[in-house]
Structure 1
Amino acid sequence: MVLTQSIPVLDLRDFHASGDRRTNFIIQLGQALEKTGFFAITHHGVDSALIQQAYQVAEQFFELPEAIKQQYEVPELHGQRGFTSFGQEHAKDHPYPDLKEFWHVGRDLLAGHPLTEHYAANLQVAEVPQFHPVMTQLYAQLEVCAAELLKACALYLGEPETLLSDMIQESDTILRIIHYPPIPADAHPASLRSAPHEDINLITLLCEATDDGLELLQRDGSWLPIPALPGQIIVDSGDMLQQLTNGVLKSTTHRVVNPTGDRCRRFSMPCFVHPRKEIDLTPLPGCIAKVGEQQFPAITAGEYLMQRLREIGLAE
């Protein structure tokens, strides 16, 4: 049986083409983010073998004894680097914790770089030496892909091509490596692997997960399953892009449901693409004109991020 994707599927090669192929790609990307907030991208430039290697080293880490994993959970980092243990994060306004544990990889900076004062250093996993080199290579490839998608997005909005991609240069973009273990017998019935939420950032690139479970909330109130298909990266727009575009592009509620009938585990790797903290997220004048009035307040990306991290339990 051939599985088909439930959301629009775009080919990044079309953006690098000329004429109608490029124009149609820009229109299809923009309309997908305007209508559903989600699309899938193929021929994205991210090495599929590297993705599989990343999942292999992730499994090696998450299979380590709990006491060893917790050595990489540093409270003063507020979950922004290293390990976050099972049940620590919850969705905004959801009282029960998500049934997951995860690791965060941020930007690697050279010694003496001015941003080392502002960005925490990545943690190295001594027990899995390949973990950090593999994840930083994946981070770099995902960021290149994200910049191309943001260029297409800016053109759809009628803005200069590099307006959005410039915002993510040397930003604190985060690669999250998630392990959803088998559902514990004592888990609260209302707990999900990931409760309904919207992403905080500009856009998210989700490497093909090891199992299904992702669903998006449609405008009619029903949930649409998004299958994890080989060769596809799932892309969704976050709250910051919705804010910046005055609601023209939608940040769509999504969740990861618990498996039915078995207790299988699941891995996924979303890359949360952030603007630099000083970036002004006041809605763009062109988007205000399109909507008719300003729907969102003036705020910087840094202020916005801290507000949301407090809401989901990752900052005090």
Structure 2
Amino acid sequence: MGIPLIDLTGALQFGAARSAAVAAELRRACMGPGFFYVRNHGVPQELIARQFALVQQFFDLPLAGKEAISLHKSPSMRGYESLGGQTLDAGARPDLKESFYCGLDYAADHPYVQRGYHSYGRNQWPAELPELGDQCRTYIAAMQQLALRLMQLLALSLHLPEDYFDHTHASPMLTLRLLRYPPHPEGADALTFGAGEHTDWGAITLLAQDRHGGLEVKLPSGEWAAATPVEGALVVNLGDMIPRWTNGLYRSNPHRVRNVHSGGAPRHSIPFFYTPDYEAQVVPVPTCVPAGEVPRYEPCTVGEHLQAMYRKTYGLSDSKQAAMA
């Protein structure tokens, strides 16, 4: 079993002719590796190329300029995160990557900002790279459109109405992350990763990666498979919301990153994390719970799940975690 490539031609619009056929391909991928490539996805390649150019420019900025917009200075956790700032695998060393977080700008009077919900608020942008803000907003809009369409195709794949998940999109949590991985250290031990083994926490992730590769996916067999870059294609994977919604039918499989194929160059990647509305309920869908059986997962909100994951990954205290609620 590998990572399938799915062509979205003829399936990008609601009710499109090929939607059912594409949904059937998605179902097979989601029951297996939980990862797939999509091509002819509607996001212009020029937009992706421009995004990568600015990613490199951002990380080439002086460290002082990046640290001036540290995510720790942001109540909504937007901004720069230095090397070793995250440990995705609790049993491994801190991740060898630096990153920048941004997302939708939510105004100060938005109810979720008023309630202090995590990631709802304003972005921080580097003064030395003023064009980054407009570029990221354009990129986010394109990826959001694709993510919403994929959620509709996922609904079809579950034998649900095409718009089944649409009500969960009111005020979504959208996170765009810019990443740079330094070359993997020579002689590094088995606990050293660019990003340690983990699953994503939301609904779906759309990843643009450079030509170097380095992403590895743990298949249901336990084998690690390389998610080799495919020209013109994005990598899509399911986050932990989807197994909850599908009562375990669809998989959110572990993955990791080791920058070992770049010949000593840094690796850049751009994941877009789509997570539904913070207050949306995540309850197993009716087509995935046989009559008379008890669902495998307790109902929860999106926010309740994410609070638990941030506590685990960042080691937040109960008081800090409560502030994110």
Cα distance, 1:272 vs. partner? 0.7
**Structure-1 residue corresponding to 2:11:** 15
- 2:137 corresponds to 1:130: no
1:99–1:199 CA distance, 2 compared to 1 (3 A): same
- Which deviations, in whole Å up to 9, do the C-alpha atoms of 1:183-242 show, x marking residues without a partner? 456966521011111110101111133421111111222111111122101111111111
User: What is the TM-score when the length of structure 1 is the normalising length?
Assistant: 0.90
Counterpart mapping for 1:197-236 below 5 A: 197-236=198-237
Question: Could you tell me whether the CA contact under 8 Å between 1:276 and 1:301 is conserved in 2?
Answer: yes
The CA deviation at 1:78 is 6.9
CA distance in 2, matches of 1:314, 1:272: 21
Q: 1:259 and 1:310 mapped to 2: Cα distance?
A: 30
State whether structure 2 residue 84 is matched by structure 1 residue 60: no
The percentage of counterpart residues that share the same residue type is 30
Letter of the 1:241 counterpart? I
The secondary structure found in structure 2 opposite 1:97 is coil
Instruction: Note the C-alpha offset of 1:287.
Output: 1.4
1:169: how far off?
3.4
Q: Which moved more, 1:257-266 or 1:67-76?
A: 257-266
Would you say 1:107 and 2:104 are equivalent positions? yes
1:38 aligned to 2:39? no
Is the 1:247–1:295 contact (alpha carbons within 8 Å) kept by the matching residues of 2? Answer: yes
User: CA separation in 2, counterparts of 1:291 and 1:312?
Assistant: 36
Report how far residue 9 of structure 1 moved.
Answer: 1.3
- Deviation, 1:113, is 4.5
Give 5+ residue unaligned stretches, structure 1. Answer: none
Q: Secondary structure at the match of 1:173?
A: strand
**Alpha carbons 1:282, 1:299 under 8 Å: kept:** yes
CA distance in 2, matches of 1:257, 1:290: 44
1:154 matches 2:151: no
Residue 181 of structure 1 corresponds to 182
Residue 314 of structure 2 aligns to a residue whose secondary structure is coil
Aligned length: 312
Structure 1 171/8 Cα, relative in aligned 2: closer, same or farther at 3 Å?
same
Whole-angstrom CA distance in 2 between matches of 1:307 and 1:313: 10
Which aligned runs of 4 or more in structure 1 are off by greater than 6 angstroms? 17-20
How big is the shift at 1:94? 2.7
Which letter maps to 2:240?
D
> Is there any run of 5+ residues in structure 2 with no aligned partner, and where?
318-325
Q: What one-letter code is carried by the residue in structure 2 that aligns with 1:23?
A: A
State the match for 1:75 in structure 2: 72
